[in-house]
Amino acid sequence: MRAMYYETFGQMPEIRTLPDPTPERHGVVVKVEASGVCRSDWHGWLGHDPDIVLPHVPGHELAGTIVAVGADVRRFRVGERVTVPFVAGCGHCGECHSGNHQVCPDQQQPGFTYWGSFAEYVGIHHADTNLVRLPDALDDATAASLGCRFATSFRAVVDQARVRPGEWVAVHGCGGVGLSAVMIASALGANVVAIDLDGAKLDFARSVGAVAAVNAADATDVVEAVRDITTGGAHASIDALGHRVTSFNSIRNLRRRGRHVQVGLMLGDDAAPPVPMAQIISHELEIYGSHGMQAWRYDAMFAMIATGKLAPQRLIGRRITLEEAVPALIGMETSRDLGISVITTF
């Protein structure tokens, strides 16, 4: 199979021909039809994820067709179109039995704990627990884009932030995760304030549901700007980027008894950000992490897509080749692309 491959963190990845995967007894092999290029893949390429063992094939946002099934798989068969959540559970521990696969202590992730989907084929472990059947009406590129950013944002907004109609929601960072959060919160009836350094991304955020925007490059004080717009602060605020500044601002711009959700991964130099603990205590703020979404929760998201309340296809930017994914990956930190880049040609 053709795949993106690297042997050293931070080294320019190559396109190589590698052996096709074979399914684990509990797993399947999927022919990859589309795979999103995500900031998490960029973090992995830089060596920020301790789960990655070199050499490595990245990629975790995928959609495709099952071409081989392990002996112990019972719920899926060859020919079915599937995707998989960003976090895959073991299916056997207490967290998985309670339905919380996203915090499984033995979680596995294609593109991190084993080779991923920047390839013609990918093996998926514990298929009965983690695979998600795709609706016929959902195209492969859109389905792939759901796997990390959109699904992660759905759980962050709906389950963790518990956003309600009429509330003010601040979204810090208008990349794939942030734009997804803007769209989802707006679909729930919230008033969304988008925050970013890029005016074009803020314009796009308005087009998918934001009612106000703050350009952090121009604002003297982002926190005060959000408080002014929301007349006292956001009810819920999401750091969709994963930076010590955006995380701090997201907590600070809350009104009393507000809810902060940390979605953007805090890695490298941002792993231990400052926290305004005095405000958290005195204002009784709620602080949540959000890490992917369980396979069984996809039905609620699919229902909102089917009725047109959510339109994740609008968040797809470029459809690219496997070769074009190399510069897309390594240039992610400085990219000004709007929307999600998805590999559709392998």
User: For residue 276, is pLDDT > 80?
Assistant: yes
Model confidence pLDDT, tens digit, residues 58-102: 999 999 999 999 999 999 999 999 999 989 999 999 999 999 999
Does 55 sit behind a cis peptide bond, omega within 30 degrees of 0 on the bond before it?
A: yes
- Per-residue model confidence (pLDDT) at position 313: 95
Terminal-to-terminal C-alpha distance of the chain? 9
User: For residue 234, is pLDDT > 80?
Assistant: yes
- Per-residue model confidence (pLDDT) at position 309: 96
- Structural domains in the chain, CATH included, are 2-150+293-345 (3.90.180.10), 153-289 (3.40.50.720)
Model confidence pLDDT, tens digit, residues 286-335: 999 999 999 999 999 999 999 999 999 999 999 999 999 999 999 988 77
Arithmetic mean of pLDDT, 248-276: 94
For the chain, give the mean pLDDT. 95
Distance of CA 336 to the CA centre of its chain: 18
**Whole-number Cα distances in Å, 345 to 34, 120, 142, 313:** 8, 9, 14, 18
User: For residue 337, is pLDDT > 80?
Assistant: no
What is the spatial distance between Cα 69 and Cα 62, in angstroms, rounded to a whole number? 17
User: For residue 145, is pLDDT > 80?
Assistant: yes
**Confidence band (pLDDT; 50, 70, 90) for 111?**
very high
pTM of the predicted structure, to 2 decimals: 0.91
